[in-house]
Structures are given as structure tokens and as C-alpha cells.
Amino acid sequence: MSARILDGKSIAEQIKQEVAKETAELRGSGVQPGLTVVLVGNDPASEQYVRNKVKACETLGIRSEKITPPTSISTAELLAIVKDLNARDDVDGILVQLPLPSQIDAQRVLLAVDPAKDVDGFHPVSVGNLVTQRPGLRSCTPAGILEMLKRYQIPIKGARAVVVGRSDIVGKPCAMLLLHEHATVTICHSRTQDLPGVCREADILVAAIGKAEMITADYIKPGATVIDVGSNKVDDPAAPKGSRWTGDVHFESAKEVAGAITPVPGGVGPLTIAMLMANTLKAFRLRRGATAVVA
């Protein structure tokens, strides 16, 4: 029997509807959450990401703003822009789109963002709040994974969870969120001994290693829930454009063993922007001493 397919699009739509409902109530009382995206230069992929984010804001009733400094901007000039956004009360979320041009000290710029407006959840203060379970903004993709597990009523408490990948953006925060939900968590990486054997212990297996179709059926415990965070473009002569997008999991073999699995595309991906919108609303609430409907 094939695994149940976990549809990220439907979960993302639920989250967006909840955000839209709350923003409508806020606008009725004369206030509106605001997100500002800083896009440096003309990277086509970044421009597409930003378009999607701005469109989501417009749909959900969040005020959006896009600042587009030239590729030649200096670190000092970009820091000045961030400083101005930090000071503006109408800006609840600040998102500096990566990658930044080579002359920019990206670390300095990201550290300059006010943690209260860090809707990406990347700032060390945000990470510290996550680790110590204090109120704050969580990294969007891991937060989306938790929402998916909860809304599909997949048991986390007491479950054995294995996260393959230790990035600051996905692997580590995802492991911490699962730990806070009382899972027993193992973080694996490229130097883990007997990786397939460790993965086969997982009731919940999160693949975020960045290698196309690396996780095959022999990594998966029968009946396990498999969350594929990967997004890899691979050559495929049979595909219409000569290439296709695939995850870190070999979907066709994995679905015959797993109990539930996310597809690529259409699994984790749609949740990231939905959680960015939820984070903007959450930042609005936290900055005013309240909590958002969507955690």
C-alpha cells in the first residue's frame, strides 16, 4: 500500500485563511501588519521569490513594501536602510532577500535587523528564543513542517524523529521544534556512521541534506512519516524541459514503505511563504504585547 500524501498546498491555504481572517479584524480596528522586503540587484530567482511574497501579502491583507537598491550598494548604505526600517513603527517584518552581492557583508546586515522584526527567524536572538522556548519568531520552513505534522494529526510526542541535515535555517531549528513537542530527536549529517540504519529508527524522518533523491526506501522504517525538505533541479531527458525538480527523497521507492510522505513539489515548499505571512502577523502582535492566532 502506498503512503498517504501530505499536501502542503492545502495546509498552507488553511494557514493563509487564518492570517487573512485576523488581518481583516485588525484592519477593521484601523491597523494593518506590514512587511518590507529588501531586494538588492536583479537576481531572477530572488525577484521571483519576492514577487510571490508580495502577492501573498496583497492577498492576505498585509501591507507590503519592496525596496530595491542597486547591485552596487555598499554594506554601510544597506545598513542605513535596515536601521531606518527598524525605527519605523509601520514595519512589523523585515526580510533581506539572499543572496546579497559579493561586496556586501551579509552577516553584518542580517545581524542589524531588529530581532522583533526578524520574520525569517534567522537572527541569533530568534534562535536563542527558540532554544529556550521564549516567545519569538521561528524559522519559516521548520515552523511549517510542525504545522503540517500537527494538522495531519501525526503523533510527535514520544516519537523517534531523525533530521538529516544540520543547517541553521532548517535542520537545527526543525530538530529543536520537534524536541519541544517531546519527540526524541537525532540530527544526522554527511559524517554520520550507518546513516541508513539511523534513519530506519525514525517514526518521523526529515530529509534536509540537499542531495537529490539520496534517501531511498532502505532508509525508511515501514509506516514512518517522511518529510522531504529538498528542492533539487536534476537533468532528465524525459522531462519536457530536459530537467525536473525533485527532493532529497527518492519518492517512488519511499512511498511504498512510508506511512505518509510529502511530495516535491507541493509538500513543504508552499508552507514557507504561508509561515512568513503568519510570522509577520505574529511580529505585529508580539511587538504590541499580544500573541497571534497562528503560533
Active site residues: 53, 97, 120
Backbone CA torsion sign across 17, 18, 22, 25? positive
Query: What number of residues does the chain have?
Result: 295
Helix 171-180 and helix 140-151, axial crossing angle in degrees, nearest 10:
40
CA dihedral defined by 121, 282, 51, 174, rounded to 10 degrees? 40
Rounded distance between C-alpha atoms, residue 129 and residue 191, angstroms: 29
Query: DSSP characters for 159-219?
Result: -EEEEE---TTTHHHHHHHHHHTT-EEEEE-TT-TTHHHHHTT-SEEEE-S--TT-B-GGG
User: What's the CA gap between 199 and 187, in Å, rounded?
Assistant: 10
Task: State the cell numbers at 42.
Answer: 536583479
Q: In what order do the strands lie in the sheet with 4-5?
A: 4-5, 260-261, 225-228, 204-207, 160-164, 184-188
According to DSSP, residue 235 is labeled E
